[in-house]
Structure 1
Amino acid sequence: MVGLVALGFVGYGLTRNWAETEAALRRLSWWSIAGSVTAVMAGLGCMLLAWRAVLAGLGSRLPLPVAARVMFVGQLGKYVPGAVWAYAAMMELGRDHGAPPRRTFSATSIALVVSLGCALAIAAATLWHVVGRAWYLPALIPLIAVCLHPRVLAFGLNLFLRVARRDPLDRVLPGSALVQATAWTTLGWLVYGVHLWLPVADLGAGPVYPLATGAYALAWATGLLTVIVPAGIGVREGAMVLALAPVLDAPEALVAAVVSRLVFTFCDVAWAGLGFLLGRMAGRQESRASTYAAQ
């Protein structure tokens, strides 16, 4: 149900802003848009592997098709106003496949903190012209690094679960799982950089991959920290225009930002559809295996 509501919000947003979106698409060549879509699909795949590694480290190892269904169908909830719908949908889907809700909640929270830490580190390393204005973003890196210690994570999550009157975690996330998740997340962010670099280069900015990667990392982190806005809409674009200022004028930077939003929205829906189909196929295979075993 949350997924259907989210698709409604996605459709409404695209329809309302279609004139702006169409104008942005007309400015770019087909190859830069196709390459951008490919990069985001690959980057989201890396984030899936990172989240799955955390969930497995906490004790629930889901088959890859099932993990894709839980994560990407559930993630559509971020397009619904409010900060809880994606969590609620993922927890419910995880429960259907044997992952306790508290474990899915914890894995999603850890993966989000890891992603935020990687994004801030990349932005701080590449966007010297912005760091002075957004000093609070790199200042969060040491705090996130401390919070990523497995025992600190376990303490914080168990405290939240206790307040929410839920059972505590039954294990601490192993360091190996955290390292694996961080590696996949970092790779995902580096691939995400390609999705913005291609349209930025197409608009005449030249070979500015590090800047494009940092610009999207800053924009995403800013949008995430603005939790009252569904999926960081508007906030992300403003931060991206600011970060791209050294190489693009504001109107051209806005074109790149609008295309980035469109590509991510398309890929979120595409991965959700793919995850839904893969999850159903995996479920049918499990049912057939159970039937054969019973016979």
Structure 2
Amino acid sequence: MFKSKKWFRNFLQYIGLLGGSGFYVYQLSKGIHSVIAMGTFNPFGFLGLILSVVLGLAFNYFQIINWILILKGMKITISLESCIKNYRLSFIARYIPGSIWGYLSRSEWLYRSYGISYRISSWASLIEIIIPLLAAIMVIILYASTLAPRWLVSFFFLGSILAPMIIWRLMDFLRKRITWPLTYSEDRFYFPLRYWLTCVVIFLINWGLSGLMVYTLIFSLNPAFTSLNFFLAIRDWFKATFAFAVSWMIGFLVLFVPAGMGVREAALQNLLRYVFGLPYEQALIISVWSRLILLLSEGLWLIIGLFIHTEGEILSLPRE
């Protein structure tokens, strides 16, 4: 029975990988062809792409910092060098059928390299899953406040401020009472509020960076670009942040497609058309390039990790 379930899971993930990748390649080829045919590049285009890659690198860096802080909140200290070397490497598994979640692969890394139990690493990964989702919801609430009547704006802001503390309290309440499939009721699984709020703020910054990346790509394909417009259109930057955060959530929640490939791009394309009124072709290429830039950024961090030496690292670990 167990083998049958495992085979079925692998089959679904394999179909998800092929389907998502096929949809992704189709979007890429159609988008590049359409944009070249439109001739919508401007002199800022190349510089904009470089800036987007830098923002993608920063996005990945803050993800690594966020993971370090989550571990530190659980009284586990692992060096920045070790996380740079292994964080992205372990996440490659999300593109492989049968191990869609890089979180499982990372648990293997932590167990085999440092003896950190699966219970501890799984709890840390659960926290890491919830934090970006929570930060994305906060972005959605703040974006909704820009569309709401003025008398409702303060309620939206209050809701976005209270949401992290409410979710933290709810998680701490549930961890003491839910005992299946794993139990996290012991005191060592308590995650301090100060680390929780810090991680949420970091991911809000990350969503802002991703929005700026998308916003930069929009201007890279806009013949009417001026530097003044770029730096003054803060509202449009926030629109791009909203669009990327929502598309990431949609891609993340479609579990059978590895890393949301194709799904996230389709969602981002439609959101860009909705919030910016972009032509189909521009929205399509921007959504595909946003994925490529983040993939390139992950690859660059992988390369950086190859040159980092971590032998003899001393760790601070909780007792199991």
TM-score using structure 1 length: 0.76
Q: 2:252 matched to 1:224?
A: yes
Residue 274 of structure 1 corresponds to 304
CA distance, structure 2, for counterparts of residue 66 and residue 25 of structure 1: 41
Aligned runs of 1:117-132 on 2, under 5 Å?
117-126=134-143
Residue 171 of structure 1 corresponds to 189
CA distance, structure 2, for counterparts of residue 54 and residue 143 of structure 1: 20
Question: Which of 193, 199, 213 does residue 241 from structure 2 map onto?
Answer: 213
How big is each residue's C-alpha offset from its partner over 1:90-148, in whole Å with a ceiling of 9 and x where there is no partner?
Answer: 001112134322222211221221111111221343368999xxxxxx9x989974763
CA distance, structure 2, for counterparts of residue 267 and residue 52 of structure 1: 19
Task: Report if the CA contact (8 A) 1:223-1:236 is conserved.
Answer: yes
Instruction: Look up the equivalent residue of 1:190 and give its one-letter code.
Output: G
CA distance, structure 2, for counterparts of residue 264 and residue 177 of structure 1: 26
Instruction: Look up the equivalent residue of 1:41 and give its one-letter code.
Output: L
Per the TM alignment, residue 221 of structure 1 is displaced from its structure 2 partner at its CA by 0.9
Residue 199 of structure 1 corresponds to 217
Say if 1:31 and 1:188 are closer, same or farther in 2 by CA, change over 3 A. Answer: same
Residue 72 of structure 1 corresponds to 88
Per the TM alignment, residue 270 of structure 1 is displaced from its structure 2 partner at its CA by 2.1
Aligned runs of 1:1-295 on 2, under 5 Å?
13=21, 16=25, 19-20=29-30, 23=33, 28=41, 29-81=45-97, 84-95=100-111, 96-126=113-143, 145=164, 148-149=167-168, 151-154=169-172, 156-157=174-175, 162-164=179-181, 170-204=188-222, 207=233, 208-245=236-273, 246-278=276-308, 281-283=309-311, 285-286=312-313
Instruction: Look up the equivalent residue of 1:148 and give its one-letter code.
Output: I
Name the SS for the 2:191 alignment partner. coil
TM-score using structure 2 length: 0.71
In our comparison, the structure showing a higher alpha carbon Rg is 2
Say if 1:20 and 1:99 are closer, same or farther in 2 by CA, change over 3 A. Answer: farther
Task: Report if the CA contact (8 A) 1:76-1:272 is conserved.
Answer: no
Between stretches 259-268 and 16-25, larger displacement belongs to 16-25
How big is each residue's C-alpha offset from its partner over 1:223-281, in whole Å with a ceiling of 9 and x where there is no partner?
Answer: 11111211111221122122111331111100100101111111122223323442xx0
Per the TM alignment, residue 211 of structure 1 is displaced from its structure 2 partner at its CA by 1.4
CA root-mean-square deviation = 3.4
How big is each residue's C-alpha offset from its partner over 1:138-182, in whole Å with a ceiling of 9 and x where there is no partner?
Answer: 9x9899747631x5324545667x433577652300111112211
Question: Whose RCO is larger (CA < 8 A, sep 6+)?
Answer: 2
Between stretches 17-26 and 111-120, larger displacement belongs to 17-26
> In percent, how many aligned pairs have the same letter?
20
Task: Report if the CA contact (8 A) 1:120-1:221 is conserved.
Answer: no
CA distance, structure 2, for counterparts of residue 126 and residue 233 of structure 1: 25
CA distance, structure 2, for counterparts of residue 275 and residue 24 of structure 1: 37
Say if 1:159 and 1:255 are closer, same or farther in 2 by CA, change over 3 A. Answer: farther
CA distance, structure 2, for counterparts of residue 177 and residue 166 of structure 1: 21
Say if 1:124 and 1:80 are closer, same or farther in 2 by CA, change over 3 A. Answer: farther
CA distance, structure 2, for counterparts of residue 254 and residue 230 of structure 1: 20
CA distance, structure 2, for counterparts of residue 177 and residue 75 of structure 1: 23
How big is each residue's C-alpha offset from its partner over 1:13-50, in whole Å with a ceiling of 9 and x where there is no partner?
Answer: 49955634754785652211111110011011112111
How big is each residue's C-alpha offset from its partner over 1:169-199, in whole Å with a ceiling of 9 and x where there is no partner?
Answer: 5230011111221121111111111111111
**What is the aligned residue count?**
267
